[in-house]
Amino acid sequence: DAKTTQPPSMDCAEGRAANLPCNHSTISGNEYVYWYRQIHSQGPQYIIHGLKNNETNEMASLIITEDRKSSTLILPHATLRDTAVYYCIVRVVETSGSRLTFGEGTQLTVNP
């Protein structure tokens, strides 16, 4: 799996957009970018994933650069409940599926 680099922590004001960056300069052509988050003492929650096109769902948007070496997860209107550790994971999509390798992630703190 390609290695990812994320800032250890970020702050965001409630109601503003939270932009979480992730570098994955060694990503391969068949690797997807996945985002999960873990609210304190809970199980991780799948957020979104993408290959090369920008993706949007009810939780967030994922912007992947044209060279695919980095991406940004955007929470358009952050709330206090979005305070969590956010993990960027790069994985090959396999028909069988396998383990997820979680790095250190980014601790996002949304402030009132």
Partner 1 sequence: EAGVTQSPTHLIKTRGQQATLRCSPISGHTSVYWYQQALGLGLQFLLWYDEGEERNRGNFPPRFSGRQFPNYSSELNVNALELEDSALYLCASRRRGTGGNEQYFGPGTRLTVT
In whole angstroms, how close is the CB of 98 to partner 1 at the nearest point? 6
Q: How many CA atoms lie within 13 A of 7 on its CB side?
A: 11
Q: Which is nearer to partner 1, 14 or 55 (CB)?
A: 55
In whole angstroms, how close is the CB of 62 to partner 1 at the nearest point? 14
Q: Which is nearer to partner 1, 42 or 53 (CB)?
A: 42
Q: Which residues contact 41 (CB under 8 A, 6 or more apart)?
A: none
In whole angstroms, how close is the CB of 93 to partner 1 at the nearest point? 5
Under the rule (CB under 8 A), what is the footprint of partner 1? 32, 34, 38, 41-46, 49, 89, 91, 93-105
Phi, psi values for residue 81, rounded to 5°: -75, -10
CB atoms closer than 10 angstroms to residue 82: 19
Please check whether residue 81 is in contact with residue 19, taking contact to mean a CB–CB distance below 8 angstroms.
Answer: no
Q: Which is nearer to partner 1, 25 or 57 (CB)?
A: 57
